[in-house]
Amino acid sequence: MKNIYNSLFVALLAVVTGSNANSQTNPQSIKICRGSSVVLKANPTASDIGGGYAWYRDGVLVGGSDDSLVISQPGNYTLASVSSGGCNSNLSSALEVSYRELIAVNDTANTHSGTPVNIPVTSNDIAECGDFNFQTLSMTSSPKNGSVSSTEPGVFSYTPNASFVGTDSFTYIVQDVTGNVSNIGKVFVTTSSVTPLAVELLSFEATKVKDQALLNWQVIEDNTESTFTIEKSTNAKSFEQINTIKAAAGTNNQVTSYSFTDINPSKGNNYYRLKIADNNGAVKYSNVKMLHFSSAATIAVYPNPATTTAYVKVSGALPKMVQLLDLNGRVLQATTPSSALVSIDLNLLSGGIYLIKVITQDDSIETFKIEKAAK
């Protein structure tokens, strides 16, 4: 016989050792460090729990009677309460417990042909459960156009071949002091020619303009026969040419500005770099710039005119902010959406035209006119 009553699950009331997680109520998942433990605690809704509790990990009974359980292993944990007559309640919702991961973040660097460059690969990696064990830093794949050595803790030194120009790559893993092993980190090194260019690159910037990528750069040129090739990648490894611009005439020894707009960026990460070549055969690459484009959201505002309430409906990523403004630009209402449908109260407004401004997660702005109808 099974009684039909539920036992709610209050998890992670206390951290016993080694984890930096905070107490949570009814979480769906938590992460712990290897070697640490946490306390799970029951909070039943049934009045008869004379038989205690039954704790399960991945469907296997791991504890009973007590209203709390100390755990240190990953798995899906569930709980049932037991009546004095020996009947179990329904199982609680599952709590997924997993280990915190050591995250190796990809790196980029720039150098010239035959010139070594030091790359502190672990400086941007994420280790939440302990310090890095630098003795475990090792390559999992080697570069094709150069060599790599380890010069100091957490640092690789890459030396490109003397004649190589382009982008080379290698991969690595590292562990922390608790034994966590990272994912495979990727390192991309862009090598330029050592032949002096007749062009000095002063700046190269990439900026999002709504759903397009605007690339701007400034140079000082000693001649007028240079070319600028814009290259693009979605993985920071394989670049393809998307446009070439010739240097402007009559700009010797002057600061000159150039720009290019990628009107069709890919969804997700877009990596851009500038290849500069002069008539002497010298080549140089800029630093790589990354822009992220999410799937476009569709926004609808209705009814229009509206009497008491206007609605903003979004399909796609939720906006960062929705504002109601008057025609002078004064913000009358502002809300951070928690769902795809946002309601705007118009009851206290006079009849007339107002503006609804929707600010997306990438800080682009869409503005809609709406009429408040007189009652």
Question: Is residue 266 assigned to a domain?
Answer: yes
**Residue 272 and residue 246 in one domain:** yes
Q: Which amino acid is at 174?
A: V
Q: Total structural domains in the chain?
A: 4
As a whole number of angstroms, the distance between CA 61 and CA 270 comes to 48
Task: Give yes or no for a contact between 155 and 120, defined as CB atoms under 8 angstroms apart.
Answer: yes
The domain boundary residue, chosen from 99, 123, 140: 99
Are residue 176 and residue 187 in the same domain, yes or no? yes
Using the 3D structure, point to which of 69, 99, 129 is the last residue of a domain: 99
Q: Reduced to 3 states, what is the DSSP secondary structure of residue 199?
A: strand
Residue 1 lies in a domain: no
d(CA 9, CA 78): 8
Position 253 in a domain = yes
- Do residues 250 and 322 share a domain? no
Whether residue 242 is contained in a domain is answered as yes
pLDDT band at 156; cut points 50, 70, 90:
very high
Whole-angstrom Cα distance, residue 342 to residue 348? 18
Q: How far is CA 155 from the centre of its chain?
A: 24
Residue 40 sits in which domain range?
Answer: 10-99
How many residues can be counted in the chain?
A: 375
What pLDDT, in 10s, does the model give residues 298-347?
A: 788 999 999 999 999 988 778 888 999 998 888 898 888 888 899 999 98
User: For the CA atoms of 277, 282, 286, 287, what is the dihedral angle to 10 degrees?
Assistant: 150
My answer on whether 71 and 131 are in the same domain is: no
- In this structure, the answer to whether residues 237 and 278 fall within a common structural domain is yes
Which of these, 335, 338, 345, 336, lies nearest to 311 by C-alpha position?
Answer: 345
Q: Is 3 contained in some domain?
A: no
Task: Taking residues 76-95, report their average pLDDT.
Answer: 80
Q: Give pTM, 2 decimals.
A: 0.48
What is the per-residue pLDDT across 107-144, written as a single tens digit (0 to 9) for each? 999 898 888 999 999 988 988 888 899 999 999 999 99
Tell me if residue 169 falls in helix, strand or coil. Answer: strand
User: Structure tokens of 130?
Assistant: 């302990």
Has residue 113 been placed in a domain? yes
Question: CA geometry: angle at 169 spanning 171 and 154, to 5°?
Answer: 50
**Residue 184 and residue 151 share a domain:** yes
Question: Token pair of 60, please?
Answer: 């296997």
Please indicate, yes or no, whether residues 212 and 151 belong to a single structural domain of this protein: no
Based on the fold, state whether residues 282 and 318 are members of the same structural domain: no
Query: pLDDT for 235-292, tens place per residue?
Result: 777 789 999 998 877 667 788 899 999 998 888 788 999 999 887 777 888 888 888 8
Do both 256 and 323 map to the same domain?
no
Whether 27 and 69 map to the same domain: the answer is yes
Residue where a domain stops, chosen among 66, 99, 132: 99
CATH number, domain containing residue 116: 2.60.40.10
Evaluate whether residue 187 is within a structural domain.
Answer: yes
Q: What average pLDDT is seen over the chain?
A: 82
95 and 106, same structural domain? no
Using 50, 70 and 90 to split pLDDT, how confident is the model at 230? very high
Q: What is the pLDDT of residues 210-224, one digit of tens each?
A: 789 999 999 987 666
